[in-house]
Amino acid sequence: MKMKLFTLFMAVSFVLAACGGNNESKESNTDGQTTAKDGEEIYQQNCTGCHGKDLAGSSAPSLKEVGGKYDEKEIKDIVVNGRGGMPGNLVKKDEAEAIAKWLSKKK
């Protein structure tokens, strides 16, 4: 009986170890650079409360065509420093770069 219990314990331990999570950061790709995909993820985690999931805006302006109005550098500056009712420093600077890269393509 003890041997069956031990075997069951080992089998369960093996299965759980094989199902371990991926501990890689989602904020950067393999060469350490943030990507536009990351920018979208960071936006979804931090900006949708005011700008909406679909960029249409709610309590803040729409960002659907923000890339046609501002370039990537200007967008990053707004994200980092804030503007109007938007406070600055809501995300880290590398996250601001990723968001700006992604939003600059929205034209």
Annotated binding site for heme c: 47, 50-51, 86
82 forms beta bridges with 87
Q: Is 40 helix (H, G, I), strand (E, B) or coil?
A: helix
Rounded CA-CA distance 62/99 in Å is: 15
- Positions at the binding site: 47, 50-51, 86
Q: How far is CA 96 from the centre of its chain?
A: 10
Q: Is 32 left (phi over 0), alpha (psi -120 to 50) or beta?
A: left
- Contact residues for 23 (Cβ-Cβ < 8 A; gap 6+): none
